[in-house]
Amino acid sequence: MNNQEIMAMGQQYVMNTYGRLPMALVKGKGAWVWDAEGRQYLDFVSGIAVNSLGHTHPRVVEAINKQAQTLLHCSNLYWIESQVKLAKLLVENSCADKAFFCNSGAEANEGAIKLARKYAKQHYGPEKYEIITATNSFHGRTLATITATGQTKYQKGFEPLPQGFTYVPFNDLNALEQALGPHTCAVMLEPVQGEGGVIPADPSYLMGVKRLCEEKGLLLIFDEVQSGLGRTGKFLAYQHYGVEPDIMTLAKALGGGFPIGAMLAKDHVAKVFQPGDHASTFGGNPLASSAALAAMETLLQEGVLENAQAIGDYFKDKLSSLKNKFSYVKEVRGLGLILGVELTIEGKDIVARCLEQGLLINCTNVNVLRFLPPLIINRDEVDQALDILIGAMGTSL
């Protein structure tokens, strides 16, 4: 089928929930993807921070092939070797002690919200249930996670929303202090806001949040679904800040392209979950866990974090120089290879022109060009992307 045929069939049979670009991708290798007509694109979206090892990484493909011939699924009624090994790897490379596996970022955040509420009720009583999140945040599309998400555009039309969420401006410690009340049980933040426009937390802010949480007996939850697993140049974004959360959530890059999410917690928090409290049929099944184990071993063993940091610095420098070239570039932000260029104009035309020229990028929050290339990208590929980007931006002068 060609792009047009796939699109036409999709319009007839698939729910219209995405503003899709007019082509279908059918193949990927490293930082490159191909559409249904054989056109090649440099991928600076990576499935929105999923394909961090690039497309079809051989270690991930091999693990999936091998596991697919052995056992695809069995249920969490039984122990699963690859899941246990994955949990060990995640715990050994984070401040957490235990892992729970699920299938997506939203599901990981649902688990975090339930765990925080149960912990607070057990330790402080039934009146402690409220979670403070940031305006401009993004935590997922289930009812609880659109409510945790501090942006009304995701909530409109789906009311009544679950109770127990309050929002404060990001990077404003005073506002958070003012918002704390008798019902507050936790604070949930992205160390780097992704969908909200690539906004890293200020180090002093996160340190202040941690101090407040300790003083008031609140749990600190970091949503690392987008910022985690090497995207910022460290395994987890919080490691740039030296501020440890009690609970953290992961998904996106975890499975190297295979769907899997995780919610990690320190022992004193994790232990309030007992058999029957939380579950997920597919969570951490043999196939997903094998893919994720291979992806995470590759990430940690093959210099991927170091590359993300070094290439991220190089790319950010080059993007910063666009401020001198284009008067509509307002700010360049980000850590490692989650980079954003805020414009004073809308970004969608630039995204469309980049696509025409063979570069996939994305625009978030209307006017922030977001760059999420695979973490295995090299300088040459960054230079190729910059050439296309500069050409596309030049037409917006």
By CB under 6 A, residue 144 contacts ligand PLP: no
Q: Which is nearer to ligand PLP, 147 or 322 (CB)?
A: 147
CA distances to 75, 183, 216, 219, 363 from 129, in Å: 31, 6, 14, 11, 35
- Rg for the chain (alpha carbons), in Å? 21
Q: Binding of ligand PLP at residue 190 (CB under 6 A)?
A: yes
Is 138 an annotated catalytic residue?
yes
Asked if 151 touches ligand PLP (CB under 6 A), the answer is: no
Catalytically annotated residue among 252, 266, 316, 318: 252
Interface residue with ligand PLP among 96, 106, 131, 144 (CB under 6 A) is: 106
| Residue among 133, 151, 226, 298 that touches ligand PLP (CB under 6 A) | 226
Which range binds ligand PLP by CB under 6 A, 86-94, 187-195, 271-279, 319-327? 187-195
Kind and range of the H or E element at 216?
helix 203-216
Q: Does 138 bind ligand PLP (CB under 6 A)?
A: yes
Q: Does 154 bind ligand PLP (CB under 6 A)?
A: no
- For helices 304-320 and 379-394, angle between their N-to-C axes, nearest 10 degrees: 30
Q: Does residue 33 contact residue 27 with C-beta atoms inside 8 Å? A: yes
Strand ranges, E, within 83-201: 98-102, 130-134, 165-168, 184-189, 192-193, 199-200
Judged by CB under 6 A, the chain residues 250 through 269 that form the site for ligand PLP are 251
Count Cβ atoms below 10 Å from residue 71 Cβ, excluding itself.
Answer: 14
Stretch that binds ligand PLP, among 57-65, 218-226, 264-272, 361-369 (CB under 6 A): 218-226
Half-sphere exposure (Cβ direction) of 77: Cα atoms closer than 13 Å: 3
Q: Which listed residue (44, 100, 101, 138) is catalytic? A: 138
223 near ligand PLP, rule: CB under 6 A? yes
Q: Please list, in sequence order, all residues whose beta carbon lies within 8 angstroms of the beta carbon of residue 172, skipping any fewer than 6 positions away.
A: 205
Cα gap 222→109, rounded to integer Å: 9
Q: Which two tokens stand for residue 377?
A: 């990208």
- Bridge partners of 184, per DSSP, are 130
Structure tokens of 41? 């694109």
Residue of 194, 200, 373, 374 interacting with ligand PLP (CB under 6 A): 194
- For residue 356, which of 324, 380, 381, 388 has the smallest C-alpha distance? 388
Please confirm, yes or no, whether 223 is among the known catalytic residues: yes
Select from 52, 67, 104, 365 the one that contacts ligand PLP (CB under 6 A).
Answer: 104
- Shortest Cβ distance from residue 74 to ligand PLP (Å)? 23
Count of residues engaged in binding ligand PLP, rule: CB under 6 A: 15
Residues that bind ligand PLP (CB under 6 A): 48, 104-106, 109, 138-140, 190, 194-195, 223, 225-226, 251
Which residues are marked as active site?
Answer: 138, 223, 252
